[in-house]
Amino acid sequence: MENLQTYLKWVIGLLFTLVIIGAGIMIWNQTQPMMQMANRQAAEQAQAIADDEYSAYDYQLVSGSQVLTAVRRYAMKEVFYIYVKTNTSEFGVRLSDAATTCPKFDYSSGTIDTSGITGCYTTTKEMMEISDTDYVPPQARFRSTLLRDGNDRITGIYFRQQ
């Protein structure tokens, strides 16, 4: 009789433990889609916040002075490129003293060609010199386009004079 009571206690304890484990697994399985959705939304929010910095240049018409402001503003960013096409020339902008190369750029399509590099030799001083071939007229209108890499991260801006 005593063995039967011990056996019943052991079986009831085991069943109770299995019920608790089963309930935990069921709750875990139900929360997984919610956690994945929350993670996805958090990543989208983080991307939106990061992209918000560049919203003024997302396929907008900007003046030549705003082009120069963008060059000054993003001069300290690493792995960031600015390409400009005026009515007289096309060039990559050297944002810092160390950065003299940029990825190749197709000025007709407005896309980066990752297969090679090119020189980014134009400085802000040259862009402001009226006698320079790379002069950016402050009153001119430019269509700005954001450049993205394979990870959909903004890596530059392309300004094309209208």
Output the pLDDT for position 99.
55
Answer yes or no: do 73 and 128 share one domain: yes
Distance (Å) of CA 119 to CA 3, 29, 45, 58, 113: 88, 54, 35, 25, 13
**What is d(CA 15, CA 6) in angstroms, rounded to the nearest whole number?**
14
What tokens were used for 15?
Answer: 């069943």
Answer yes or no: do 19 and 46 share one domain: yes
Domain containing 25 equals: 1-52
Q: Which residues of 64-85 are buried (b: 16+ CB within 10 A; e: fewer)?
A: bebbbebbeebbebeebbbbbb
What tokens were used for 102?
Answer: 């940029």
Using the 3D structure, point to which of 52, 75, 91 is the last residue of a domain. 52
Output the pLDDT for position 98.
60
One DSSP character per residue, 44-105 reads HHHHHHHHHTTGGGSS-EEEHHHHHHHHHHTTT-SS-EEEEE-SS-EEEE--SSS--EEEEE
Q: Which residues pair with 143 in a beta bridge?
A: 61, 160
Answer yes or no: do 75 and 114 share one domain: yes
Output the pLDDT for position 96.
67
Output the pLDDT for position 62.
92
- Nearest alpha carbon to residue 84 among 43, 136, 47, 130: 136
Q: Which residues pair with 128 in a beta bridge?
A: none
Output the pLDDT for position 47.
81
Answer yes or no: do 45 and 100 share one domain: no
Could you give the number of structural domains in the chain?
Answer: 2
Answer yes or no: do 92 and 15 share one domain: no
Answer yes or no: do 48 and 74 share one domain: no
Answer yes or no: do 124 and 46 share one domain: no
Q: What is the mean pLDDT of each run of 10 residues along the chain (162 residues)?
A: 83 90 90 89 84 84 90 82 88 71 78 76 84 88 88 86 90
Output the pLDDT for position 21.
92
**148 membership: H or E segment, kind and range:** strand 141-148
